[in-house]
């Protein structure tokens, strides 16, 4: 699945693997999971087109630099762990396609929810469709889609990345009201870009992290 997701990322001209690439790889081949998504109107072609639209800026795709290696973002790591856990809980040594689909739906972060919402599909609708096919699902609903509120961005040197992550994690841990994230800048080696919602004073946190780091050197 990792290799297939990597191929999907390359087709989208991206050098990282996220939950959305797992979903693309998953519905590229026949399975119960693929049938469920098709029933909801989500095909590989529609999903790929939607993801391509989201990766444009002012109608244009950002500059792409092909790389010999592909990174796996934290959300994708969580999806893979969830898929293995679901499979083990059902007595399977390896995750089945429906295990991967459940993992993407429950641990795929807000991007998957946003993409599916744009295609007119909610995460609970996916779990309901799986149940109709006789697939086991958790007894709690996946997190509802939450539109991103604001879009503040700050770019830092890779050497500063950990200090900023630590402070953001302390002030706004997972599950908090306001969300944040980060990613490497492939077009600017050695740089990491942070993004946060309106409720996070991103500039102030970066400045505080820098002062703390300078004081410890």
Tens of pLDDT, residue by residue over 193-212, are 999 999 999 999 999 999 98
- Position 137 in a domain: no
Residue 217 has pLDDT above 90, yes or no: no
Check residue 66 and give its pLDDT.
57
Residue 213 has pLDDT above 50, yes or no: yes
**Residue 115: which CATH number?**
1.10.1780.10
Does 110 share its domain with 206? Answer: no
pLDDT tens digit sequence for 138-181: 999 898 788 889 889 999 999 999 999 999 999 999 878 998 98
Does 86 share its domain with 169? Answer: no
Does 7 share its domain with 98? Answer: yes
Angle CA 216–174–182, to nearest 5: 65
What is the average per-residue pLDDT within 21-49? 96
Does 116 share its domain with 72? Answer: yes
CA distance 102 to 79: 9
CA distance 53 to 198: 24
Does 128 share its domain with 156? Answer: no
Does 128 share its domain with 167? Answer: no
CA distance 119 to 136: 24
Average pLDDT, the chain: 89
- Position 141 in a domain: no
- 96 vs 53, which has greater pLDDT? 96
Check residue 185 and give its pLDDT.
73
**pLDDT more than 70, % of the chain:** 92
**Residue 157: which CATH number?**
3.30.1370
Helix (H, G, I), strand (E, B), or coil: what is residue 142?
coil
| Weakest-pLDDT range from 71-75, 120-124, 182-186, 194-198 | 182-186
Confidence of residue 137 (pLDDT cuts 50, 70, 90): very high
Check residue 65 and give its pLDDT.
57
What is the average per-residue pLDDT within 59-79? 71
List the domain range (segments joined by +) for residue 108. 2-132
CA distance 98 to 104: 10
Residue 39 has pLDDT above 50, yes or no: yes
Q: Which of 135-139, 147-151, 188-192, 213-217 has the highest mean pLDDT?
A: 135-139
Confidence of residue 55 (pLDDT cuts 50, 70, 90): low
Angle CA 101–25–45, to nearest 5: 105
Check residue 56 and give its pLDDT.
45
Does 174 share its domain with 94? Answer: no
Instruction: Please report, for residues 28, 54, 134, 155, 212, the alpha-carbon distance to residue 205 in angstroms, rounded to integers and kept in the order given.
Output: 42, 28, 48, 12, 10
pLDDT tens digit sequence for 79-119: 999 999 999 999 999 999 999 999 999 998 788 999 999 99
pTM to 2 decimals? 0.74
- In this structure, the dihedral spanned by the alpha carbons of residues 82, 176, 181 and 120, taken in order and rounded to 10 degrees, is 70
């Amino acid at each position: 699945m990792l290799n297939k997701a990597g191929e999907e990322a390359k087709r989208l001209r991206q050098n990282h693997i996220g939950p959305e690439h797992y979903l693309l790889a998953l519905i590229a081949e026949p399975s119960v999971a693929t049938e469920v998504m098709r029933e909801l109107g989500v095909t590989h072609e529609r999903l790929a087109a939607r993801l391509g639209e989201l990766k444009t800026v002012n109608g244009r795709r950002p500059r792409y630099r092909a790389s010999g290696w592909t990174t796996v973002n934290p959300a994708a790591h969580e999806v893979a762990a969830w898929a293995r856990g679901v499979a083990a809980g059902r007595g399977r040594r390896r995750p089945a396609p429906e295990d991967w689909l459940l993992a993407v739906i429950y641990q795929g972060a807000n991007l998957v929810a946003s993409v599916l919402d744009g295609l007119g599909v909610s995460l609970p609708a996916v779990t309901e469709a799986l149940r109709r096919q006789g697939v086991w699902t958790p007894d709690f609903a996946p997190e509802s889609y939450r539109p991103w509120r604001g879009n503040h961005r700050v770019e830092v040197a890779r050497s500063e990345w950990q200090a900023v992550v630590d402070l953001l994690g302390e002030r706004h841990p997972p599950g908090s009201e306001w969300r944040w994230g980060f990613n490497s800048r492939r077009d600017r080696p050695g740089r990491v870009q942070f993004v946060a919602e309106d409720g996070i004073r991103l500039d102030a946190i970066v400045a505080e992290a820098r002062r703390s780091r300078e004081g410890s050197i």
